[in-house]
A and B are shown apart, each in its own frame.
Chain A
Amino acid sequence: MTLTTESFAIDLAFWILSICTVISAIAVIQIQDLFRSALFLIVTFLGVAGLFILLGAEFLAGVQLMVYVGAISVLIIFAILMTRDLEEGNPSHSFRLPVAIVAIIFILFAYYVITQGTDWNGRLISENLDAEQQKVAATVFFKESIPSLARMLLTDFVLAFEMVSVLLLASALGALALVRDR
């Protein structure tokens, strides 16, 4: 498998995954029962994990499964069940329509910038690199993706890595302090 492999199977997998992801994301917003929309949120996370595998990021797909599907969605479902006696459904503000127009304008603007406004060819791997360089890039992406990721995390991005560890510790302690019984 090289960096520029294109096949019908990859296209088919992309379309199935992306349609599932987008439809379940819309379902998260639109379904009135919050518990069911949390279940559709899990489907969205699974679809994004599949897209990561399609993009050659298997480690990130595993992290996505463990952190999002395993931890975050369980936390959200617990919170929904703890506050469920209110029976409020999933209400929206009255200014729903202008917000929807803003979101649609954002999507159309992004579509214009991505397809027309940017010259991708200058930096595309498939257009820019010769065969030898593509082989090196394919090694980084397919054979050594986890060692390369670890090397980057612990050399070039080590400050951000340590800061994010401190942030995680601080937020865990802050969450404990907030919900403690006094």
Chain B
Amino acid sequence: MTLERFLILGAILFGIGLYGVLSKKHAIAVLMSLEIMFNGVNVTAVALSRYTVPYTVPDTFEAASRFLLTGHVFTVFIITVAAAEVALGLAIIIAIYRTRQSVLVTDAKELSR
């Protein structure tokens, strides 16, 4: 139950973020929901890295012990990509706000037709 509860918590956070991303109109609210999804994935990755042995091609503990912290490495990458994504996403939102005085994702639809 120790591993499963962290995974279930990650899945719940991911589901809440999924609902927010798909149902919100405000672009900044969509970005915040995306951050919640990232956090759910991070909790899942760190919990898997803490409680399970990674599978390596020679399936011995000596080979696997080098990769025990793979989940931490993935989390570092996810946090970096999230920072880049927020900087770029907020820049796009500010640019859209300047040109058409709106931050709703439903108003930016030139590409849809």
Q: Tell me, yes or no, whether A binds B.
A: yes
Q: Is A131 an interface residue (CB 8 A)?
A: no
Question: What mask results when residues 1 to 37 of chain B are scored 1 for a CB within 8 Å of chain A, else 0?
Answer: 0111111110111111111101111101101110110
Interface of A, helix, strand, loop or mixed by DSSP: helix
A120 CB contacts on chain B under 8 angstroms: 3-4, 52
B16 CB contacts on chain A under 8 angstroms: 22, 25-26, 29, 103
Number of interface residues of A (CB under 8 A): 86
A141 CB contacts on chain B under 8 angstroms: 50, 68-69
Q: Tell me whether B94 and A140 are in contact (CB under 8 A).
A: no
Q: Tell me whether B50 and A55 are in contact (CB under 8 A).
A: yes
Complex CA–CA separation, A34 to B104 (angstroms): 13
**Provided the pairs A29-B20, A96-B23, A175-B90 are in contact, do residues A140 and B68 lie with their beta carbons within 8 angstroms?**
yes
Q: Tell me whether A48 and B53 are in contact (CB under 8 A).
A: no
Complex CA–CA separation, A131 to B23 (angstroms): 50
Q: Is A8 an interface residue (CB 8 A)?
A: no
Complex CA–CA separation, A86 to B102 (angstroms): 7
Complex CA–CA separation, A68 to B35 (angstroms): 9
Q: Tell me whether B32 and A38 are in contact (CB under 8 A).
A: yes
A16 CB contacts on chain B under 8 angstroms: none
Residue numbers of B with Cβ under 8 A of A are 2-9, 11-20, 22-26, 28-29, 31-33, 35-36, 39, 42-43, 46-47, 50-53, 55, 61, 65-70, 72-73, 75-77, 79-88, 90-95, 97, 101-104, 106
